[in-house]
C-alpha cells in the first residue's frame, strides 16, 4: 500500500491499465488488485467493478509486456512523455448487483462500505414505524420494540431440560447487538434464521453494564403485511422507545411514604386500646368489688359449703 500511495503522489491514476503499468506488480500482484477492485478502491476510475475484474488478467499481461518493451526501448516518445501504442477494451458485461457488491465488500473488509442490504427497505421501514438499534441504548428494561436487521451469526445450544435455544448476532445499518431466542421462540423461528437473512424482530430490551441485548418474542420476513402486523402486535405488548415514562428510583419511595403514614394512623388507636385493657386488668376501679371477701371477724375468707 505504501508503494501505491507514493506513486499516486506524483500523478493520480487514470485507469486500471495506468495503475498496472506504474505499480510494482511483484508487490501488488493480481490477487491484491482484484481485492482492491471488489472493495471499491477503483470506483473513481473508468469501468465498473465486474468489468475491471474481467479485464484484469489481460491488463496485467499488457502492463508486463509494456515494461519489457520499455526496457528494450521499443516505446514511442512524444514530447518526452512515454505513451503506449495499445489499449485494453472494456468488456460488455453487466455490473454486480447491489447484494453481490455488498457481499464482496463484507467478505474482503469485514464490513459494508457502499451501503447495506437494508437500504432497499428504507421506504417500507419508515412506513411501518420500526425502531432503530441506535435508539435503544437508553431505553428502559422490558420495553417492547420492533427492529429490522440482518442475521450476522447464529449459535445454538441445548438447555439442561434438553431444549434447543439460540443466540444471534443482529445488526442494522449502524448498530449491532446480541439477540437471545429462548426455546419456545427458537422452535417457532428457526426456519427463518440463517446467516445473511433480513428479518423483522419483536423483542424486549434488556440493558447491561455495556450496551444492551434483545430477548426475542417473534421474527418475521421483511414483507409489508407481515411487518405491519409485527409492529402492531409490538405496540400492543408495550410502549415504543421514548413513549414509556422513564424509571425513577425515588418514585416508589415517595409513593410509599403516605401509605406508611396512613397505616401508622390506623395502628395507633389499636396500640392505645390494648394498653388500656392491660391497665384495667391490673388496676381495679373504685366501684369494683374486692377480689377476695373476708369474714366479719377478720378470719380467713369465706369458702363455699361443701356439698353433700
pLDDT (tens place) for every residue of the chain, 308 residues total: 777 888 888 889 999 999 998 898 888 899 999 999 999 999 999 999 999 999 999 999 998 888 887 766 655 554 445 555 567 889 999 999 888 898 899 888 888 888 999 998 999 999 999 999 999 999 999 999 999 999 999 999 999 999 999 999 999 999 999 999 999 999 999 999 999 999 999 999 999 988 899 999 999 999 999 999 999 888 887 654 444 443 333 444 444 444 444 444 444 444 444 444 444 444 444 444 444 444 444 444 444 444 44
Nearest to 177 by CA among 185, 186, 167: 167
Q: Quote the DSSP letter at residue 89.
A: P
Residue 86 has a pLDDT of 64
Please give the angle made by the CA atoms of 253, 254 and 258, to the nearest 5 degrees.
110
Residue 123 has a pLDDT of 93
Spatial distance between the Cα atoms of 181 and 167, rounded to a whole number of angstroms: 6
**Which residues make Cβ contacts (< 8 Å) with residue 298, sequence separation at least 6?**
none
Cell of residue 32, nine digits: 491484491
Residue 60 has a pLDDT of 93
Residue 84 has a pLDDT of 54
Can you name the residues that pair with 215 across neighbouring β-strands? Answer: 180, 204
Spatial distance between the Cα atoms of 280 and 277, rounded to a whole number of angstroms: 5
Residue 282 has a pLDDT of 40
**Which residues make Cβ contacts (< 8 Å) with residue 132, sequence separation at least 6?**
147, 172, 174, 175
Residue 107 has a pLDDT of 87
Residue 238 has a pLDDT of 64
Q: Give me the long-range contacts of 223-229 (CB less than 8 A, separation at least 24).
A: 224/124, 224/127, 224/128, 226/200, 227/124, 227/125, 227/128, 227/130, 227/148, 227/200, 228/128
Which segments of 137-295 does DSSP mark as H helices, in order?
183-189, 224-237, 251-282
Amino acid at each position: 500500500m505504501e508503494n501505491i500511495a507514493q506513486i499516486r503522489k506524483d500523478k493520480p491514476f487514470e485507469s486500471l491499465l495506468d495503475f498496472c503499468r506504474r505499480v510494482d506488480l511483484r508487490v501488488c500482484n493480481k490477487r491484491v488488485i482484484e481485492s482492491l477492485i471488489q472493495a471499491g478502491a477503483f470506483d473513481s476510475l473508468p469501468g465498473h467493478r465486474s468489468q475491471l475484474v474481467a479485464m484484469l488478467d489481460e491488463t496485467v499481461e499488457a502492463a508486463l509486456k509494456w515494461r519489457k518493451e520499455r526496457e528494450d526501448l521499443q516505446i514511442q516518445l512524444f514530447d518526452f512523455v512515454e505513451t503506449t501504442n495499445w489499449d485494453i477494451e472494456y468488456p460488455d458485461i453487466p455490473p454486480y448487483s447491489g447484494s453481490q457488491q455488498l457481499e464482496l465488500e463484507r467478505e474482503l473488509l469485514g464490513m459494508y462500505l457502499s451501503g447495506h442490504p437494508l437500504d432497499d427497505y428504507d421506504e417500507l421501514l419508515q412506513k411501518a414505524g420500526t425502531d432503530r438499534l441506535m435508539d435503544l441504548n437508553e431505553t428502559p428494561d422490558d420495553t417492547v420494540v420492533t427492529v429490522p436487521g440482518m442475521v450476522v451469526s447464529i449459535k445454538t445450544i441445548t438447555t439442561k431440560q434438553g431444549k434447543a435455544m439460540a443466540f444471534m448476532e443482529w445488526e442494522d445499518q449502524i448498530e449491532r447487538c446480541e439477540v437471545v431466542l429462548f426455546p419456545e421462540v427458537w422452535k417457532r423461528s428457526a426456519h427463518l434464521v440463517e446467516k445473511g437473512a433480513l428479518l423483522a424482530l419483536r423483542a424486549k430490551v434488556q440493558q447491561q453494564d455495556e450496551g444492551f441485548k434483545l430477548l426475542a418474542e417473534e421474527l418475521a420476513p421483511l414483507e409489508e403485511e407481515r411487518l405491519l402486523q409485527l409492529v402492531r402486535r409490538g405496540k400492543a405488548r408495550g410502549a415504543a422507545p421514548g413513549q414509556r415514562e422513564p424509571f425513577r428510583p425515588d418514585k416508589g419511595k415517595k409513593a410509599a411514604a403516605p401509605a406508611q403514614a396512613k397505616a401508622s394512623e390506623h395502628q395507633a388507636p389499636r396500640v392505645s386500646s390494648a394498653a388500656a385493657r392491660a391497665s384495667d386488668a391490673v388496676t381495679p376501679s373504685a366501684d369494683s368489688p374486692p377480689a377476695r371477701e373476708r369474714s366479719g371477724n377478720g378470719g380467713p375468707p369465706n369458702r363455699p359449703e361443701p356439698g353433700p
